[in-house]
Structure 1
Amino acid sequence: MLFNFKKSYKFATISSLYISLFLGVLLGITHFFITEIPILYFVLFIIATFSFSFLVLQYRVEKFIYKRVKKIYDDVSLLENSSFRNQSITTDMATLTKEVQKFAKDKKLEIETLKIREEYRREFLGNVSHELKTPLFTVQGYLLTLLDGAMDDKNIRKKYLQRAEKGVERLIYIVKDLDMITKLETGDINLELSEFDIVEVVQNVFDLLEMRASKKNITLTFDVKYKQKVLVFADHEKIQQVVTNLVMNSIKYGKENGTTEVSIEDLVNNKVIVRITDNGEGIEKKHISRLFERFYRVDKSGARSEGGSGLGLAIVKHIVEGHDEKIYIESEYGVGSEFSFTLEKIK
């Protein structure tokens, strides 16, 4: 076992010096009053006493502190056994105290992190349970009603089966989003990068969501008419999903007779920023920091009545960050919101 003792040397040296001086004075008195001792023997005696005292004291100090420090380490489990055995033991109490405080701080931080994760896990499981429970009970209710006799009425049977189908579609939607968010959070994003026109992607999303927007008389529009293509380098399918989720959100939380506007602007370093702006109800500041959390909803009752899995913004964030890009949000309660994200532009 290797030892790296520094201050203990000083301790043993001074202690040995005291012992040697004491015995030297005692021997000197004996020499003066009793008998004459050759000077050489006197010097050798002092050196031998000093050396013996130093070795004994140093060894005892090492063993004494080592045993007690190791017991402390074993008892409180502040140090891993492997690191303790492989590293030199120190009797420098200042260094030792600093080392123990560092490990205690690390352990405290680890415990706090585990508590946060446990709380997050409980909240996540509760949210998943709630999201799945609603459509499941809906489907079950309609099917039980049909089995109890309503199946004989053709009109009721068709209506209830259609409603049950919507409940199943909602379940499938939630499960698909759960599967995607799991893959994204584990880094399994598998981007298929290619060149494409972001203006065309936005227009496709407008066409896809036109009917949904028309139910609230919300206008989907560009800020200007883009006569030329804006080519970007990214995963076409996933970026279309990002735009779809953001535009759907603007419709879901938008006001009647409102507007959702998309703008595409050039940035430095061959980047473009895509902005989705609405004049809806806006978001209070206390909610903004949590918007990209899984299942987090600003208006829980209203959002659920509009459908969705509650994972849309979390998926958006992971896809954008998977491209090594940034996503931003600006919102003023009662005025509207703007979500924006960057993409790499093709020259």
Structure 2
Amino acid sequence: HELEELERLATYRRRFIGDVSHELKTPIFNVQGFIHTLLDGALYDSNVNLQYLQRAAKNIERLQMIVEDLETINKLEAGQMILDLQEFDLHELTDEVYADLEMRASERNIRLTYKEGANQRFRIRADKESIRQVLMNLVHNSIKYGKEGGLTKISFYDMETYVLVEISDNGIGITPEHLSHVFDRFYRVDKHRSREAGGTGLGLS
């Protein structure tokens, strides 16, 4: 079983390298194209240059998320992940995540919202940047795989000793046979679909 697991991980890693190469190249080429277009004269057209700058910013955001995932997985594998525990407002952090992803959501006409009546504030003690990264990945996936014109909703539930965070949408979902693998590194539910939508298979691991 141990040998089978090693072979499985080796296969996933090979796929992962190909996916990461694709994921890095695409936004880099896009940003290069936008810059060249601006330098070729579009810079002086205010309507056009704003559009290209926004698209460049979106691609840089995509690169940033990939790099953050890679840095996190590297620290975890090296045993160098150090948690910086601090108290913070979970609602405020979610607002920041929503603000960061607002442009991407608007492009797909997806509304970012809270569960109705979710006015209770939760102050928690945790590693704020790790929680931010988890929320970013979950909300980003919800936007990426959600239906255009739909919504992404976040709900908070007081479980006495912890806060349960639920993110729901009207996207394509994950079939039951794949649910047990959603936290596996490099695992892809549908490689073709993932390649089209983007992603490395590390977001939830």
The alignment's TM-score, normalised by the length of structure 1, stands at 0.47
Checking the alignment, whether the CA contact within 8 Å between 2:183 and 2:204 is kept in structure 1 is yes
Q: Is the 8 A contact 2:112 2:152 kept in 1?
A: yes
Q: What secondary structure, in the 3-state scheme, does the structure 2 residue paired with 1:276 have?
A: strand
* Counterpart secondary structure, 2:3: helix
Identity score, percent: 43
The answer for the alignment partner of 1:178 in structure 2 is 70
Question: In the TM superposition, what whole-angstrom CA distance separates every residue of 1:16-40 from its partner, at most 9, and x where no partner exists?
Answer: xxxxxxxxxxxxxxxxxxxxxxxxx
Determine the C-alpha separation between the residues in 2 that align with 1:169 and 1:220.
18
Q: 1:300 aligns with which of 184, 191, 194?
A: 191
CA distance in 1, matches of 2:15, 2:60: 20
Q: When the two structures are aligned, how many residues end up with a matched partner?
A: 192
Where relative contact order (Cα < 8 A, 6+ residues apart) is larger, the structure is 2
Match of 1:71 in 2: none
Contact 2:145–2:197 (8 Å) recurs in 1: no
Report if the CA contact (8 A) 1:197-1:230 is conserved: yes
**Aligned pair in 2 of structure 1 residues 232, 120: CA closer, same or farther (>3 Å)?**
same
- Whole-Å Cα distance in 2 between the matches of residues 134 and 312 of structure 1? 13
Which of the residues 110, 129, 146 maps onto 2:18?
A: 129
Unaligned 5+ segments in structure 2 are 43-48
Corresponding residue to 1:243 among 135, 152, 163: 135
CA 1:189–1:250: 2 relative to 1, 3 Å: same
Q: Are 2:121 and 1:229 aligned?
A: yes
1:21-36 equivalences in 2 (<5 Å): none
Cα deviation code 1:233-273 (max 9, x no counterpart): 111111111111111111111011111111111114x2211
How far the C-alpha of 1:115 sits from its partner, in A, is: 3.4
- Does structure 1 residue 272 correspond to structure 2 residue 158? no
Task: Give the aligned residue type for 1:271.
Answer: Y
Instruction: Give RMSD over aligned pairs.
Output: 3.4
1:283 is aligned to 174
Tell me what 1:208 maps to: 100
Structure 1: distance between partners of 2:203 and 2:85: 22
Q: Which runs of 5+ in 1 are unaligned?
A: 1-111, 144-149, 315-347
Q: Is contact 1:265-1:273 (8 Å) kept?
A: yes
Contact 1:252 1:303 in 2 (8 A): no
Determine the structure 1 residue equivalent to 2:144: 252
Which of 133, 137, 154 lines up with 2:40 in the alignment? Answer: 154
Determine if contact 1:199/1:229 at 8 Å carries over to the other structure. Answer: yes
Rg larger in structure: 1
**Counterpart mapping for 1:1-347 below 5 A:** 112-133=1-22, 135-136=24-25, 154=40, 173-268=65-160, 270-314=161-205
Following superposition, the deviation at residue 211 of structure 1 comes to 1.6
Query: Could you give the per-residue CA deviations for residues 312-337 of structure 1, whole angstroms, max 9, x where no partner exists?
Result: 111xxxxxxxxxxxxxxxxxxxxxxx
Residues 134, 312 of structure 1: CA spacing in aligned structure 2 closer, same or farther, 3 A cutoff? closer
CA-to-aligned-CA distance 1:55-97 (integer Å, 9 cap, x gap): xxxxxxxxxxxxxxxxxxxxxxxxxxxxxxxxxxxxxxxxxxx
Provide the rounded CA distance (Å) in 1 between the counterparts of 2:64 and 2:102.
23
2:110 maps to amino acid: I
Return closer, same or farther for 1:138/1:261 CA change in 2, 3 Å cut-off.
Answer: closer
> More deviation in 254-263 or 164-173?
164-173
